[in-house]
Structure 1
Amino acid sequence: MKLSSLIEQVKLNCNISDANYWGYYSICGLLMRLRELYRNEHQMMPWERIEHSSITAWIEKRESLWSSLEGEGLKNLIIDSKEFNPLDAQAVQETIASEQLVYAAGYSTFGKPSFFLARLERKEEFKGFSVYYTFNELCRDLSSHPAMLINRSIYIRREPLLIKLWNRFLELRGRRFGGALFEAFSGYGIQRDTELSRVQETLLRVLDDITVILLYHEVAEALETDDNDGWLELLSQCSDLKTELYLRAVKDIISDTSSYGPLRYLIEEKNERLLDFYIILSERIHRAVSPAIVEAYQKFKNQRDWGQVDRTRREVYLDFSRIYNKITGIWTDTRDVEKVKACLVKETSFK
């Protein structure tokens, strides 16, 4: 198998996907993703400085490429004279596994096809799932979720996760009062004024520890899913990004608070350092939809009562399972997105 040919083919599908979906992102969101993609294509660490003139020229070329690819369909992959549907990740993975490579393909927000090809760091079996840990991503699209679940395979992408960690550290440096950010990083000896070379070295150790949070989330997402086809259909019919993000947040909160999920694991292990990172790595929309988890965390930092955190976890799980069942029931009965949105308004902070 010729690696350069495979990279070229996968990257073409990444560019086709980006060309057809870049307009769904906000300006700020697109620029952030372009910077991350630039780093990936130039093999740069998150803390390496990007020359303004270089990325400006690169963005201009990328926009020109997108214009030429807009409206194109995804291309089949040719590996060792065999043809593969680019979305058949399992078949492709079986073919390239001996090369210590990882290929993943799925759908991101907006129904955007998402792909990446990376070198395998290690593989393990966990609770009936094949778990692939990657670091050196050879190519990817604008989407960069640190973890992906595809059938019975879980992909932990350390490169995007390291970017997220570094961005959280930059937030810490820019704040007068640390809060959860201070708690999380100080647990590893990192302060606002810590020498950057030491921060960079320590973040790689933090990265090793926090992947378990993503792992348990993906396992719970798989085990808590019943009518996945109906749920995916609902997401695909959302007419606006906000509705889709709120729906995804409901599902994510169920996974996090499930008996299979990361919060229960952290509580059972009484792992305060990872609880700190669970809070700071959670998405803003999750905290808005379910402030009870953050409130329980804040109480815990004063009282050190793990039982209280677990009670909140159980309550949130039951409440959001009820909301999820109500939403899916409305969708099954009516196929009406507006009625689903009305339910979100009533049951969550959605407005």
Structure 2
Amino acid sequence: MDELKQSLINQVEFNCDVSDAKYWGYFSICGLLMSLYALYMSKLSLKPWAYVEGKDISEWIAQKEAGWEKLENEDFRELRIHGKSYNPFDISAINQVLIGEGLVYGAGYGLFNKPSFFLADLHSYSKIHGCSVFVSKKEHVRDLFISPGMLREKQIFLRLEPLRAILWDKFQELKKQNNPILEYAFNQYGFHADQDINEEFEIAFEKLTNKYSDVVLYHELSESIEDIPGWSEMLYEIDAKDVNFFLRAVKDMLADTSNHGPIKRSIDNKDSVNLGLSIALIDRYRVKMDKEIRQAYEEFINSGDWDLVENARKMIYARVVLLRDKILDIRKSVDNKADLIAKIRRLI
């Protein structure tokens, strides 16, 4: 590994550890353990289906948590690259330097407004609809927060490694629960719950990951187009977890169901795999908003009628636009955070 890459890994890892030390308490116990497990797999460059010894990961977690105690009062450090210092959130300037090195760096804010960082090998770079799109492959370092896509300042980061892990978790669900939408989507791509994990499976799963990255891309592109002035600031202000999750869900649902989003794109392309996975991967807060499209897709499985799904998409988008406007009106009408949280909470 060259000197620049190793230096960057060390620097970014420090900031990741500081962020984790300050924010680990926001996670539930189960959520923290799952995030630590995923981080361990990533650090060792293990595929999500690899076997790990319980003793090894337990020792690693203990060391990680012990290190947090020493870092919780530290500040984030600037990154030194070729003798110059950069603010760790100045992703534009940093990536202008790193793209020539075959690397990509991401920084932003995730759930709980947690600062989030990663450094990875660059898979591809392109410009789409006015956005710079960085696609990463192998990740060298990241923090606890995991997201396959991130939008910041007209820059989109698609992270194939976390996306593969998320799809694997969903594939595992086929063995645990009856989910006809999820089962149909995986079956369309040739995957079945009881199949062997072998080289053929791994190759096919990589292809599925690359295919589904199109959904993540068009979600982020749509989010850029559907940008809501003041929404990001409101997310930053509101620290009540349930309300924060709800506001993120509204924003995500707008992006998913708009004319520019991944569901519309899947319908136009008659792509039943991406459509099914898009619906199956919707989180529990968005599930409350998407009942029509789930019902439409279940009917589509039997009928093949794409109009059912398209009509449901339009209906949900129109409803979420009204919800968005109601939330913005609430924000204008109150003058303190407590009232804002209370009034939005009634909409959940």
TM-score normalised by structure 2 residue count: 0.95
Q: String of CA shifts for 1:168-202, please: whole Å, max 9, x gaps.
A: 11111233x44112101111211122111133332
C-alpha separation in 2, matches of 1:335 and 1:91: 37
Alignment counterpart, residue 84 of structure 2, candidates 82, 85, 91? 82
C-alpha separation in 2, matches of 1:330 and 1:95: 43
Q: String of CA shifts for 1:300-325, please: whole Å, max 9, x gaps.
A: 22332222211221121111111111
C-alpha separation in 2, matches of 1:275 and 1:102: 29
> How many percent of aligned residue pairs carry the same amino acid?
36
Alignment counterpart, residue 99 of structure 2, candidates 92, 97, 100? 97
C-alpha separation in 2, matches of 1:296 and 1:338: 38
Report the equivalent of 2:266.
266
SS at match of 1:274: helix
Report the equivalent of 1:192.
193
Contact 2:148-2:163 at 8 Å conserved across structures = yes
Contact 1:331-1:337 at 8 Å conserved across structures = no
Report the equivalent of 1:216.
218
Q: String of CA shifts for 1:281-340, please: whole Å, max 9, x gaps.
A: 222221133322212222222332222211221121111111111112211332444444
Matched, 1:182 2:202: no
Pick which of 50-59 and 297-306 moved more.
297-306
Q: Which amino acid aligns with 2:54?
A: H
Going from structure 1 to structure 2, the CA distance change for 1:268 and 1:339 (only over 3 Å counts) comes to farther
Pick which of 196-205 and 15-24 moved more.
196-205
- Give the superposition deviation at 1:341: 4.2
Going from structure 1 to structure 2, the CA distance change for 1:219 and 1:335 (only over 3 Å counts) comes to farther
Q: Which amino acid aligns with 2:241?
A: L
Structure 1: any 5+ residue segments left out of the alignment?
A: none
Matched, 1:204 2:191: no
Q: Which amino acid aligns with 1:188?
A: Y
C-alpha separation in 1, matches of 2:180 and 2:300: 13
SS at match of 1:50: coil
Q: String of CA shifts for 1:59-117, please: whole Å, max 9, x gaps.
A: 11111110000121111111111010001111111111110100011011111110000
SS at match of 1:196: coil
SS at match of 1:2: helix
Going from structure 1 to structure 2, the CA distance change for 1:327 and 1:81 (only over 3 Å counts) comes to same
Report the equivalent of 1:170.
172
C-alpha separation in 2, matches of 1:75 and 1:236: 22
SS at match of 1:118: strand
C-alpha separation in 2, matches of 1:263 and 1:52: 39
Instruction: State how many pairs are aligned.
Output: 345
C-alpha separation in 2, matches of 1:236 and 1:16: 19
Q: Which amino acid aligns with 2:224?
A: A
Contact 2:103-2:121 at 8 Å conserved across structures = yes
Q: String of CA shifts for 1:123-169, please: whole Å, max 9, x gaps.
A: 12212211111110010000110000111111110000100111111
RMSD over aligned Cα, in angstroms? Answer: 1.5
C-alpha separation in 2, matches of 1:275 and 1:249: 18
- Give the superposition deviation at 1:237: 2.4
Report the equivalent of 1:307.
307
SS at match of 2:126: strand
Alignment counterpart, residue 60 of structure 1, candidates 40, 62, 72? 62
Contact 1:234-1:337 at 8 Å conserved across structures = no
C-alpha separation in 2, matches of 1:202 and 1:83: 42
Report the equivalent of 1:235.
235
Pick which of 207-216 and 272-281 moved more.
272-281
In the TM superposition, 1:1-351 aligns within 5 A as: 2-175=4-177, 177-197=178-198, 198-227=200-229, 230-347=230-347, 350=348
Going from structure 1 to structure 2, the CA distance change for 1:100 and 1:109 (only over 3 Å counts) comes to same
Contact 2:221-2:261 at 8 Å conserved across structures = yes
Structure 2: any 5+ residue segments left out of the alignment?
A: none
SS at match of 2:100: helix
Contact 2:238-2:341 at 8 Å conserved across structures = no
Going from structure 1 to structure 2, the CA distance change for 1:54 and 1:258 (only over 3 Å counts) comes to same
Going from structure 1 to structure 2, the CA distance change for 1:312 and 1:335 (only over 3 Å counts) comes to farther
Q: Which amino acid aligns with 2:183?
A: F
